[in-house]
Amino acid sequence: MDYGCGNGRLWRNPGHHDFELMLFDPMIDDLRKTLGHIPVPFSIATSTADLPGNHFDVIVCSLVLMAVHSDDEAAKLLETIQKCLKASGRLVLALTHPCFIHQAHPDFVTSFSQKDGFSYNQAGNQYKVIINDRGTEVSLTDTHRNLNAYLDLIKQAGLTLTDMEEITCENSKGEALDYPSFLILEAGVSEPI
Ligand SMILES: C[S@@+](CC[C@H](N)C(=O)[O-])C[C@H]1O[C@@H](n2cnc3c(N)ncnc32)[C@H](O)[C@@H]1O
């Protein structure tokens, strides 16, 4: 399942085609017309109430959690995901890297790198993100959380971190930046204590 799928851009070029895909996004009714490019069969859930429990091998939640401003809502989102995962399933959570959000990135820049001061430990601060999506600029508001805050949310939802990867992008000259732009966290369902 792609939880918070947006325009489904993650599925433009899937590496293989032998999987079932479910898309969920609270804005799905506005996004339906943008999903025609997806080359694998998919179903759409329009509400969290339609999501099957204990069902998915993998749930991807990409660039969504920063857009959820309240911690209560973020906790609810992760609890919903935890319930939908099989016991052996994995959540793959993509975040703009919270440690380097104030730096310039090839595809996005934030107000932390412009006028707003950045305090890593000041969780809950909102900031503007300007994304360059293949030449089109999109502006949105995200909420900053530090790594500790993300890990607390993950644990409280009954999930356990299993892996992480920092993604470093290249600048326009093809040189790797000195810092990662994205953080990928992988989590599984926690064993009952
Ligand atoms: C920046 S877009 C990312 C879209 C897509 N996942 C991607 O990586 O391109 C953030 C998406 O999160 C969705 N979203 C916001 N709040 C959400 C929530 N509580 N549960 C699920 N999705 C949410 C928005 O509707 C939007 O489509």
Name the residue type at position 104: A
| CB-ligand 1 contact for 25 (6 Å cutoff) | yes
How high does pLDDT run on average in the chain? 94
Beta-carbon contacts of residue 57 (< 8 Å; ≥ 6 apart): 86, 88, 89, 90
Does residue 39 fall inside a structural domain?
A: no
CB neighbours of 91 closer than 8 A, spacing ≥ 6?
58, 59, 61, 78, 81, 82, 85, 159, 185, 186, 187, 188
The mean per-residue pLDDT over the stretch 71-96 comes to 98
Q: Are 21 and 79 in contact (CB under 8 A)?
A: no
162 inside domain: yes
The pTM of this model reads 0.95
Query: Separation of 67 CA from ligand 1 center, angstroms?
Result: 7
The interaxial angle of helices 71-84 and 147-156, nearest 10 deg, is 50
Do the Cβ atoms of 91 and 163 come closer than 8 Å? no
pLDDT tens profile 17-37? 899 999 999 999 999 998 988
| Total tally of structural domains belonging to the chain | 1
Q: Is the pLDDT of residue 84 over 80?
A: yes
Which mutation among 25, 37, 92 tests ligand 1's pocket best, with the greatest number of atoms within 8 A of CB? 25
* Residue pLDDT, tens place only, 86-126: 999 999 999 999 999 999 899 899 999 876 689 999 888 99
Query: Atom 10 (ligand 1): residue with closest C-alpha?
Result: 64
What residues make up the domain containing 89? 52-98+144-189
Of all residues in the chain, the percent with pLDDT exceeding 70 is 99
Look at residue 14 and tell me if it is in a domain: no
Decide whether any atom of ligand 1 lies within 6 Å of the 59 Cβ.
no
Q: State the distance from the centre of ligand 1 to the C-alpha of 144, rounded, in angstroms.
A: 16
Task: Give residue 176 CA to ligand 1 midpoint distance, Å.
Answer: 28
How far does the chain reach from its first CA to its final CA, in angstroms?
Answer: 27
User: Coil, helix or strand for 182?
Assistant: strand
Average pLDDT estimate for 181-193:
93
CATH number at residue 85: 3.40.50.150
